[in-house]
Amino acid sequence: MADDRQTRDAELDKAIGELVAANRILADQGVVDAYGHVSMRHPHDKNLFLLSCSRSPELVEPQDIMTFRLDGSPADGRTDNPYVERFIHCGAYESAPDVMAVVHSHALAVLPFSISSTPLKTVIHTASHIGETIPVWDSQDKFGDTGLLVSDMEQGRDLARVLGHNRVALMRGHGFTAAGRSLGEVLKISIYLPQNAQVYLDAMRLGGTIKCITPGEMAIRDSFGPGGRELARAIEYWANRAGCGHYLRYKKTK
């Protein structure tokens, strides 16, 4: 039983270290700035998730990682300031059991498609996990004028409804939310979504016809699964650039 306890502690340490690294990787890759956040489902309880207290992702440390219930309330008795928009994560985990990690970002390259009637398409193979449909959630549709923050469960659930079974939903004038089957998958999606948007925007400027990634191609690539050694190679690279490789070997000293 002591062994079991130790194994579980080690699993949680590993998850926390990976989540801290994910925060810093997203900052280094320009996906998040002062704002934006990334969470993962708790490794031992599907009704909880891990998310930093209110800090910019580049600065997140292991001790900043809090545990939340799916209604956004802290489950660890901590009284640190949480992110106002943690309900984005709540909605995504509550609505789909296969969602294991969530990113919320204001990445600039994606924003034009969130305010335009022209939809974003998937055109580069590194972004193929995004899938065929990229819905846009506009808080006006259900809530009228708001402060444009997802600050309660009702809004978080409405965003999750629009996200549906897709991997990414754009948020009008605000950014995007990505939901992945693993932390690595949601990192890859979040890093290549802005690049895909930039390429598609530039291709439209060329004035010719554009060939997107086909549904069949996406299905084949998706069948490779959310991880694998191609992703491991990328994580090694991203972590090295962000100078956060040591968090991938994080072990709390009790």
Q: Catalytic positions, please?
A: 85
Q: How far is the CB of 22 from a second copy (least distance, A)?
A: 15
Q: Which of 137, 196, 190, 194 is nearest to 163 (CA)?
A: 137
Of 164 and 228, CB closest to a second copy? 228
Q: How far is the CB of 189 from a second copy (least distance, A)?
A: 14
Three-state SS annotation for 45-95? CCCEEEEECCCCHHHCCHHHEEEEECCCCECCCCCCCCCHHHHHHHHHHHH
Of 164 and 173, CB closest to a second copy? 173
**CA 15/CA 139 separation, integer angstroms:** 32
> Does residue 47 interact with a second copy by CB under 8 A?
no
> Does residue 118 interact with a second copy by CB under 8 A?
yes
Contact range with a second copy by CB under 8 A, out of 61-69, 94-102, 140-148, 162-170: 140-148
Residues 6+ apart with CB under 8 A from 153: 71, 72, 87, 90, 91
Pull the structure tokens for residue 234.
């990328």
| Cα dist from 185 to 49, 57, 161, 224, whole Å | 17, 18, 21, 12
> Does residue 79 interact with a second copy by CB under 8 A?
no
Of 4 and 145, CB closest to a second copy? 145
Contact range with a second copy by CB under 8 A, out of 1-9, 13-21, 178-186, 199-207: 199-207
Backbone torsions φ then ψ of 150, nearest 5 degrees: -90, 85
> DSSP code of 212?
P
Radius of gyration of the chain (CA): 18
Q: How far is the CB of 60 from a second copy (least distance, A)?
A: 11
72: left (phi over 0), alpha (psi -120 to 50) or beta: left
Q: How far is the CB of 148 from a second copy (least distance, A)?
A: 4
Give buried/exposed letters for 221-232 (b at 16+ CB in 10 A, else e).
Answer: eeeeebeeeebe
> Does residue 145 interact with a second copy by CB under 8 A?
yes
Contact pick of 217, 225, 249, 251 for a second copy (by CB under 8 A) = 217
> Does residue 61 interact with a second copy by CB under 8 A?
no
> Does residue 8 interact with a second copy by CB under 8 A?
no
> Does residue 243 interact with a second copy by CB under 8 A?
no
Binding site for a second copy (CB under 8 A): 33-35, 54-56, 58-59, 81, 84, 106, 108-109, 111-113, 115-118, 123-126, 128, 138, 140, 144-149, 172-174, 195, 198-199, 201-214, 216-217, 219-221, 224, 229-230, 233-234, 236-238, 240-241
